[in-house]
Structure 1
Amino acid sequence: MAYLEIRQTGPLSGTYRVQGSKNAVLPMLAATLLVPGKTTLHRVPKIKDVNVMLEILHLLGCCSCWEGEALTIDAGNVNNWVIPEELIGQMRSSVILLAPILYRMKKAAVVEPGGCSIGRRPIDIHLYVLQALGVKLHYEWEEHIFAQADYFCGAHLFLKFPSVGATEQAILAAVTANGMTVIDNAAREPEIAELCRMLRGMGAKITGDQTGRIVIEGVKELFESTCEVGADRIVAATCLSAVAVCSGEITLTGVDASHLNGVIEPFEKMGCKIWSDKDTLTAARMDKLMAIPYLKTSPYPGFPTDVQSLIMAVMSFADGQSVVEEGIFEGRFRTAYQLQKMGAAIIIENNQAIIWGSHLIGTKVEAPDLRGGAALAIAGLGADGVTTIFGYDHIARGYEDLAGMLFMLGAQAALRE
């Protein structure tokens, strides 16, 4: 069983090219189904979630071929319309395949995903979007959903919450719909812009991504294309967390610093200095690590929920009291209980974590989820002794090689079997 071994580390120094974005590449892979031909994506991260998505695409009739970081999908022979229940359980985001499958097969079947480790993640907004665009839904045994649509019809959509997944679902359906689609209160995350950039390269007519109001004029067909996946901003934030805990100076390449605006400000308040030039970002921390009185997670451009566990680990070493409020997923605080095993002074009150800077000691801990596992690694960098992190499968969902990345930046981190 694989596990991470992290040792207390002094000042960091090193350069790392940030891997392609997990949250961007998954909807981009779903979009390859919209073209009955080949699509090539560059800078694709070799992570567990990508492998699961590929397994689903293969079951639907696609072929794939890796060449270094480039991945080509041939969707010319799609012949299946069912997303297997066991794969939905491994990766909830596979529900975004509904619209592309409907476009190709006129029908689709999926088991409605339940809750997950970080909290409730209902797909009701996905279903609202599909129905508004002309999809007929049928339910059997409560959670089994059958969808049918000969074609999509443009519509004016208003999302009750700016859900990233539901926004992606709407975009994937609307690009080939009859007529115009307007999506109000759309998610504005950079991953939305990544998907739209790819689709425009395939012939889609989309404007307004990252504005909260996306306008799409449907086209009859899309075409073969090539696109590069952008950098993973959560992986970049993981590196910022590492240098915040250890001090030192690191450089990240291949990253768009503007995608990290909601992350950079809190780290600067804690004492880090961060500057960027083109696609390079440098971060340093030389002085005392300071607490943040209050920080709340919120949709982009706010502070991302995916970084909440990471900054909670950093706050465990800061001078003073910090408060983090979770505004999206209530289950994110499961990481706090593992940090407490290391000696972190954290109290959970409703949807807030109150953290006092303290002295952490390495011990055996269990990754509760993807981002929580990375947060425990960050905590291990500042804790006395050795921190052993089990549940590596969670971490492998989004990091190509977390230990290798930290090692390149000068940390004492290793993956053990």
Structure 2
Amino acid sequence: MDRIRITGGAPLQGTIPISGAKNAALPLMIAAMLTGDTVELRNVPRLADVGLLLRILGNHGVDHTVTGKRPGQTAETGQTIRLDASSVIDTCAPYELVSRMRASFWVIAPLVARFGEACVSMPGGCAIGTRPVDLLLMALERLGVTIGIDGGNVLAKAPKGLRGAEITFPKVTVSGTHVALMAATLAEGQTVIDNAAREPEVVDLADCLNKMGARVTGAGTSRIVIEGVSRLHGTTHTVMPDRIETGTYAMAVAMTGGDVLLEGGRPEYLQSAIDVLRQVGVEIDPTNEGLRVRRDGARLRAVDITTDPFPGFPTDLQAQFMALMTRAQGTSRIRETIFENRFMHVQELARFGAQIRLDGDAAMVDGVEMLKGAPVMATDLRASVSLVIAGLAATGDTEIHRVYHLDRGFEALEAKLSRCGASIERLRAA
């Protein structure tokens, strides 16, 4: 397996281009199955999860073309993918593919909405909690889908089509909102989703669906209304910039010090995290090009956070923020309310000399003067990049194992950081 080696201590200076958002690209790719026309997605990041989803869609009979890198483009220039679902040949998604990525389970929505049936393996591919699909299936049942379970597969049937309905989620769920939104576009009549997720990625999906001929209003609020249509058509859509990547690099600059322009970063997608970083002692200024992040040599201040659904502090930035707080002056309390088992990075951060105590859904972080490089092992996507942040500021060398987690969600990470002065390299497996 590949490893990443970092020699810490260098401040970051320069420009980091922000890639298209993985968490937006995946549902957009799946939504392309709602029509037999071509859907063109621009600014799609080059990530392992994107490649895996293309394989899954191909298994259903979806054709795709990917525009290769052109002269003048760099490795992190977003790619263009054209998806053609005019000849879907299989409404079953097998375990060997779905088990590797949870988001692939969402294909159940366009399959049952457009073809009246789907057989999708129960999902896997994640180490940060159970994340049950009960709410997703509840939403489909509200729309008239008959759900059965057989041999670990979800059997969804709606031979007479879907019917608009009232869907009220008992708790905010991004996955459930994506599934309900996609399915309802082809349902007969009106669908109302209450307690809907408000994440920017949901808005991006709704914008694309509306370009395809859907009638969606209210995305970005807790109440989304969909007037069903009989068919959708193709479109061209540009994937939004990745707010989690933006926040991650902002925290890396906060950790090392320096001055970096996060090109394409959008402050409205990340305001809660920006507010927290300013409390920590980081300068963050929106510009016409993106977000400029600066920190001089002053010691970081400890700040308490609680993860919450958007517009609260993102759970996908919790591990990165914990790494940052290991160097802060004082004690910070980090409470995780979204996912269980999302403190697996604590033991690895401790290998750097971090002082962290766990208490149920909270972690108490006592800041230390210095971190020391160490061999560490990534446990999941966001945890892996928290180790990169720690390694950038630690004295000596850090070697991160299992970096395939990073390849799932961060495009050209070593190239982006090294151009800003970081000493970081990938050690390829023999």
Q: TM-score, normalised by structure 2?
A: 0.95
Instruction: Please state how far the C-alpha of 1:293 moved relative to its aligned partner.
Output: 4.0
| Structure 1 residues 101-140: aligned runs within 5 Å | 101-113=111-123, 116-140=126-150
| Structure 1 residues 311-330: aligned runs within 5 Å | 311-330=321-340
Instruction: Please state how far the C-alpha of 1:416 moved relative to its aligned partner.
Output: 1.4
Where 1:100 maps in the other structure, the secondary structure is helix
In 2, the alpha carbon distance for the partners of 1:168 and 1:334 equals 27
In 1, the alpha carbon distance for the partners of 2:228 and 2:288 equals 34
Instruction: Give the conservation status (yes or no) of the 8 Å contact 1:230–1:255.
Output: no
Where 1:39 maps in the other structure, the secondary structure is strand
Question: Aligned pair in 2 of structure 1 residues 34, 115: CA closer, same or farther (>3 Å)?
Answer: closer
Q: Which residue of 1 aligns with 2:156?
A: 147
Q: Which residue of 2 aligns with 1:59?
A: 59
Instruction: Please state how far the C-alpha of 1:10 moved relative to its aligned partner.
Output: 2.3
In 1, the alpha carbon distance for the partners of 2:9 and 2:65 equals 39
Where 2:29 maps in the other structure, the secondary structure is helix
Q: Which residue of 2 aligns with 1:31?
A: 31
Question: Aligned pair in 2 of structure 1 residues 338, 273: CA closer, same or farther (>3 Å)?
Answer: same
In 2, the alpha carbon distance for the partners of 1:398 and 1:122 equals 22
Where 2:131 maps in the other structure, the secondary structure is coil
Q: Which residue of 2 aligns with 1:70?
A: 80
Instruction: Please state how far the C-alpha of 1:61 moved relative to its aligned partner.
Output: 0.3
Q: Which residue of 1 aligns with 2:408?
A: 397
Q: Which amino acid letter does the alignment assign opposite residue 12 of structure 1?
A: L
Q: Choose the corresponding residue for 2:106, options 96, 110, 117.
A: 96
Q: Which residue of 1 aligns with 2:47?
A: 47
Deviates more, 1:178-187 or 1:94-103: 94-103
Q: Could you list the runs of 4 or more consecutive aligned residues of structure 1 that deviate by over 6 angstroms after TM superposition?
A: none
Deviates more, 1:283-292 or 1:189-198: 283-292
> How many aligned positions are there?
416
In 2, the alpha carbon distance for the partners of 1:284 and 1:195 equals 33
Question: Aligned pair in 2 of structure 1 residues 239, 114: CA closer, same or farther (>3 Å)?
Answer: closer
Where 2:148 maps in the other structure, the secondary structure is strand
Task: List per-residue Cα deviations over 1:84-130 (Å, max 9, x = no partner).
Answer: 10111110111111011112332111222258311120010000000
Where 1:226 maps in the other structure, the secondary structure is strand
Q: Which residue of 2 aligns with 1:408?
A: 419
Task: List per-residue Cα deviations over 1:189-234 (Å, max 9, x = no partner).
Answer: 0000000011111111111011110001011111110000011111
Q: Which residue of 1 aligns with 2:399?
A: 388
Where 1:332 maps in the other structure, the secondary structure is coil
Q: Which runs of 5+ in 1 are unaligned?
A: none
Percent of pairs with identical residues: 38
Q: Which residue of 2 aligns with 1:255?
A: 265
Instruction: Please state how far the C-alpha of 1:363 moved relative to its aligned partner.
Output: 1.0
Q: Which residue of 2 aligns with 1:180?
A: 190
Instruction: Give the conservation status (yes or no) of the 8 Å contact 2:34–2:114.
Output: yes
Instruction: Give the conservation status (yes or no) of the 8 Å contact 1:18–1:255.
Output: yes
Q: Which residue of 1 aligns with 2:390?
A: 379
CA RMSD across the alignment:
1.2
Instruction: Please state how far the C-alpha of 1:287 moved relative to its aligned partner.
Output: 4.4
Deviates more, 1:49-58 or 1:103-112: 103-112
Q: Which amino acid letter does the alignment assign opposite residue 46 of structure 2?
A: K
Q: Which residue of 1 aligns with 2:199?
A: 189
In 2, the alpha carbon distance for the partners of 1:129 and 1:58 equals 26
